Structure 1
Amino acid sequence: MAPAMKIVFGLLTFVTVGMIIGALSQLAFIRKLEQDSYGTESLPYRSLRGLESNAHLQLPRGIPYWNNDKEAQILRLGYVKPQVLSWSPRIILLHNFLSPEECDYLRAIALPRLQISTVVDTKTGKGIKSDVRTSSGMFLTPEERKYPMVHAIEKRISVYSQVPIENGELMQVLRYEKNQYYKPHHDYFADTFNLKRGGQRIATMLMYLSDNVEGGETYFPNIGSGQCSCGGKTVEGLSVKPTKGNAVLFWSMGLDGQSDPLSVHGGCEVLAGEKWSATKWMRQKAHQ
C-alpha cells in the first residue's frame, strides 16, 4: 500500500472509531436520562441586555445535592426527557429541552433582525434566496453567544449531542408564517467551500420556540414505512410536531463517517399560527 493511501486509511479509521465511541457515549447518556423520572421546581435564572426578567429554569425536586448545582440547572437534568425516534439515522426527540423563558428570550433577540431566509449555493457555498425555503431568520452574533442564557443552551446542546461547543456554528433563529415551508433537503454540504470551515456538518439540534402552531411539522420522508401528518396532509415517513420547548437532535453523518441520505428532512407548510425555531448545526471540527 502506498504511503499516501496508508495515511488516508489511517485518518478514516480514526474518524470512524471516534464517531463510534461518541455514539456509544451518547447512547449511555440518553439511556440514563430515560431511566430518571423526577418532579421539578423553579430556581431563578438571569439573562442580559434589557431582556432580564423573572426567568426560571427547571431543576429536579427531591434530590438535595442538586438544589444548588449550576450544572444541573444548565442541563435541566431531571426535566429533559429523551425519546428515540430512529436509529438509522439517529433521531432523538428531547422533550422540555428549553424552558418557556429561554424560548421567549431567543424570539425576542431575533425579532428585530429577521430577514428572508437563504439556502447554501452548492457552487459558491454562499447563501442565496430560493423558493425551497420561505421563512425569515437571523443568526446570533459571536458576542450574543457569550450571553449567560445563550451559553447555557449551547452547553446543553453540546452535552446532549456529545459534540464540543466549539464545533457548533452560530445559532440561527427562524420564523415560519402561514403557508411558509422548507422543502426536503439535507444539512450536510455538497460544496467544498463550507468544508474548509470546520469540516462536514455531522448533526443538527432543532429547537421549537412557539406553541399553538397548526402544521409546520419537521418531516423525514425517507424513514420507516408508516404514515404521518405534514402540513395537513397524510404522507409516508416520520414527522415531529413543533411543540414549544422540545428539540429534535438528528445526525447527518453515519457511524461509517459518510453523509447519510436518510437524514433528508423538511419543514412542512404552516397552516395557522407562527412557527419559531432555533437551529444549531455541528461540525466535525472546530468551526471557524
Structure 2
Amino acid sequence: MTNLYLLLISFLFILFRSSSSSIINPSKVKQVSWKPRAFVYEGFLTEEECDHMISLAKSELKRSAVADNVSGKSKLSEVRTSSGMFIPKSKDPIVAGIEDKIATWTFLPKENGEDIQVLKYEHGQKYDPHFDYFTDAVNVAHGGHRIATVLMYLSDVEKGGETVFPSAEVASRHKTSKSDDDLSECAKKGIAVKPRKGDALLFFSLYPTAIPDATSLHGGCPVIEGEKWSATKWIHVDSFDKIVGGGGDCKDQNENCERWAALGECTKNKEYMIGTPELPGYCRRSCKLC
C-alpha cells in the first residue's frame, strides 16, 4: 500500500511538472505574418485560466499609461484609453503555470519577462498604433529592448477590439481578410487578429539581429460591442529581474560576446554589439571599447 501511494504521488508530481510543456501543441499555432513575425496559438489558455486572471485584476484596475519617449516615465495619454494592472510573477500556481507555458512556447527565459499586465477595454476604448520596443535610454537599460510580446485574449469581443498591424507586409493569401465583414474598419487597415477567448498572439518587435522591426507597429482597435479583456507578457533581450546598477562599468552583457566579436559582429551589428553613448551595446568589452 505504501509503495502504491508513493507511486501515485510521484506520478502526480511528474504530471504537474510536465503539464505546462505537454500542453504546447504546435499544430494549434498559425502564422499571421512574416513581416513582422507574428503567430496565433488557438486555445493557448483554458477558460479557467482566463477567468482567473480577470478575477485577480478586477479590483485593481487603474487607467493605463504609456512610456514617455524621452524620459521613459509613465504618463497618461489619449493614445491609450484602457484600464489595467500587473499580476506579479508566480503570484499563484495558475499564474506560474501560464508563465511556464509562455516560456515553453517562445523559447525565451522566464526571467526576461515583465509581470503580466491585464487590460480591460470598454466601449470605444483603444490603443493607437505603437511599438513595444523603446526609444528612451531609461527603459532600455532595464533588460534591454522588448524582443517579443505575448498577447493573450481573456474574453470574446462581439465587435471591434482587434489587434492590427498597419505596417505589416500583406501577402496575397491575407488580402481577402480586408473584405471580411466580421472585422471593424480599423482592423481592415492592415493584418488583424480578432480577439477570441483563450487565444494568444506572439509577435516579435526585433529582428533576429536585435535591430528594431518597424513593421511590428501595432494597435488595439476600438471596442464597438461588448468589452475586451486581455493579458500581455512583454519579454526582453536580457533578464528583467536583474537590478540595474548605477555604475559605468564597461563589460560584456552576453556570454557569447567574445565569439561574436571574433566573427566580425562588432562591425556587422553595431547597434547590438556597441550601441551609442545613450544606449550602450551588449558587447562593448569584446569590441575593445574599454
Global fold match (TM > 0.5): yes
* Distance (whole Å) between structure 1 residues aligned to residue 51 and residue 206 of structure 2: 31
1:197 correspondence with 2:142: yes
CA RMSD, Structure 1 to Structure 2 (Å): 2.1
1:101 correspondence with 2:54: no
| Long gaps (5+) in structure 1 | 1-64
Aligned pair partner of 2:62 in 90, 115, 118 = 115
Question: In the superposition, relative to structure 1, how do residues 122 and 97 fare at CA in structure 2: closer, same or farther (>3 Å)?
Answer: same
Instruction: Quote how far apart the aligned CAs of 1:79 are.
Output: 8.8
User: TM-score, structure 2 length as denominator?
Assistant: 0.72
Query: Pairwise mapping of residues 277-288 of structure 1 onto structure 2 (< 5 A)?
Result: 277-288=230-241
* Distance (whole Å) between structure 2 residues aligned to residue 205 and residue 234 of structure 1: 19
Equivalent position SS for 1:235: helix
Equivalent position SS for 1:106: helix
Aligned pair partner of 1:218 in 156, 163, 174 = 163
Instruction: Quote how far apart the aligned CAs of 1:166 are.
Output: 0.2
Q: Which amino acid aligns with 1:69?
A: L
Give the structure 1 partner of residue 277 of structure 2.
Answer: none
Q: Which amino acid aligns with 1:211?
A: D
Query: Pairwise mapping of residues 52-201 of structure 1 onto structure 2 (< 5 A)?
Result: 69-75=15-21, 76-78=23-25, 81-142=28-89, 145-201=90-146
Aligned pair partner of 1:276 in 229, 236, 243 = 229
Instruction: Quote how far apart the aligned CAs of 1:213 are.
Output: 2.9
Alpha-carbon contact 1:82-1:95 (below 8 Å) kept = yes
Give the structure 1 partner of residue 207 of structure 2.
Answer: 254
Q: Which runs of 4+ in 1 moved over 6 A?
A: 65-68
* Distance (whole Å) between structure 1 residues aligned to residue 184 and residue 240 of structure 2: 34
* Distance (whole Å) between structure 2 residues aligned to residue 131 and residue 71 of structure 1: 43
Equivalent position SS for 1:159: helix
Percent of residue pairs identical: 43
* Distance (whole Å) between structure 2 residues aligned to residue 231 and residue 269 of structure 1: 9
Larger Rg: 2
User: TM-score, structure 1 length as denominator?
Assistant: 0.72
Whose strand proportion is higher, 1 or 2?
Answer: 1
Question: In the superposition, relative to structure 1, how do residues 127 and 184 fare at CA in structure 2: closer, same or farther (>3 Å)?
Answer: same
Instruction: Quote how far apart the aligned CAs of 1:164 are.
Output: 0.1
Aligned length: 222
Instruction: Quote how far apart the aligned CAs of 1:71 are.
Output: 4.4
| Long gaps (5+) in structure 2 | 1-10, 242-290
Instruction: Quote how far apart the aligned CAs of 1:231 are.
Output: 3.3
* Distance (whole Å) between structure 1 residues aligned to residue 63 and residue 189 of structure 2: 30
Instruction: Quote how far apart the aligned CAs of 1:256 are.
Output: 2.0
Alpha-carbon contact 1:80-1:95 (below 8 Å) kept = no
